[in-house]
Amino acid sequence: MASAWAQSVLLTRGQIAEISGVSPGTLAFWLKNDLLVASSGGAGKGSHKKFKPIQASIAAILGRLQQFGVNIASLKAFSEFLQQGVRVGESCHLHPISLIEAVMLKRRIVKFELGESVSVYFVSDGEDAEFGGRIADSVSLIERDFLAQKTDHDPAEDIVAFARVLTSRDLMGLEAYAEVRTVMDGLDWSDPSWLIWQNSAGEWEISSQPEPSAQFTNHPQSDTAIFIAIGSIIRGIWGIDIRETRMEHLRRRIPDYRRSHPQIAERMTERLRALEKEQSDG
């Protein structure tokens, strides 16, 4: 399945079990305890309910947590955390990459509102955008700084408008949803992983790692955390080839970089050729 999200079909409970690798008995128990959310179908045992593809991905993630011995109460709490991200993400029309941009913008605003320093780089005191660097003195300036940048998938104004309605409690779950979506859609050329843990209040938190060699976004506030290779899990259940994803990403980006950064474009072209050779060699 080249892109799980591109398929508009709804899935049966049996298909969710088959795709996610979760046993039918376990899936039935999870449905009874509301760990997965159906898109259609009446009440009852769930055999006639239908599910969006994102629910198969969530089931696969929960299945990996179950292998670590996470109990049903903690699984349910993590599911509620992810499902809240799904609800917020599906409440708008934005591309998953734009959702991540909205999260990043909102985090900068929250940081400013907490009294921390936030730098802006693309706006000055005047109206013209210019690359520089100064400390923001208002939320408006942070938003203007974002509006001055190029966005690839949605108008920057729409991303700013969505960021304004987000709460700080929405951010981590929404980012998790968007990361899963990017992998499902074959948009993510990286190989993301998560560290997840429960804080002192029993709430789940996630620290993301874009590549195996990269740093995690933040250090767990806990003695222990669970590592989940989210990219390989999601691609594995949907049959998505990361090499093909990376080649497509390079093919889209090279023309733009040839105009603005020809040396970078040349390195990207070399990388593309190497990936194509790997593919042809089998």
Q: How confident is the model at residue 252 (pLDDT cuts 50, 70, 90)?
A: confident
pLDDT digits 0-9 by tens, 199-239: 888 889 898 887 776 677 777 777 888 999 998 899 899 98
58-86 pLDDT, tens digit each: 999 999 999 988 999 999 999 999 999 99
The position carrying tokens 């049966």 is 12
- pLDDT of 1 higher than 80: no
Q: What residues have CB less than 8 Å from 205, skipping those under 6 apart? A: 172, 196, 197, 198, 199, 220, 221
> Is the pTM above the cut of 0.85?
no
Average pLDDT over residues 241-254: 75
Distance between CA 122 and CA 168 in Å, rounded? 25
- Contacts with 129 (C-beta within 8 Å, 6 or more apart), sequence order: 122, 123, 148
> Is the confidence at residue 282, as pLDDT, over 70?
no
Check if the beta carbon of residue 124 is closer than 8 Å to that of residue 137.
no
Which residue bears the tokens 């005191």?
Answer: 125
Given a cut of 60, is residue 126 above it in pLDDT?
no
Order of strands, sheet of 193-198, starting from the edge strand that comes earlier in the sequence: 204-209, 193-198, 226-228
Which whole number is the average pLDDT over 255-277?
81
Q: Which of 41-55, 177-191, 263-277 has the lowest mean pLDDT?
A: 41-55
- In the prediction, which pLDDT does 88 show? 95
CA distance 76 to 71: 9
**Residue found under tokens 């050329």:** 189
- What's the mean pLDDT in 11-35? 93
pLDDT, average across residues 145-157: 88
User: Higher-confidence residue: 87 or 239?
Assistant: 87
With pLDDT > 70 as the criterion, what percentage of the chain qualifies?
88
Task: Report, as an integer, the average pLDDT of 140-161.
Answer: 90
The pLDDT value recorded for residue 123 is: 67
124 pLDDT tier (thresholds 50, 70, 90): low
Which pLDDT score is estimated for 132? 54
Q: How confident is the model at residue 125 (pLDDT cuts 50, 70, 90)?
A: low
- The predicted pLDDT at position 42 comes to 55
**Distance between CA 71 and CA 181 in Å, rounded?**
26
Question: What mean pLDDT do residues 100-111 have?
Answer: 94
pLDDT at residue 268 in the model:
80
Instruction: Decide if pLDDT at 130 tops 50.
Output: no
In the predicted structure, residue 37 carries a pLDDT above the cut 70: yes
pLDDT above 90: residue 7: no
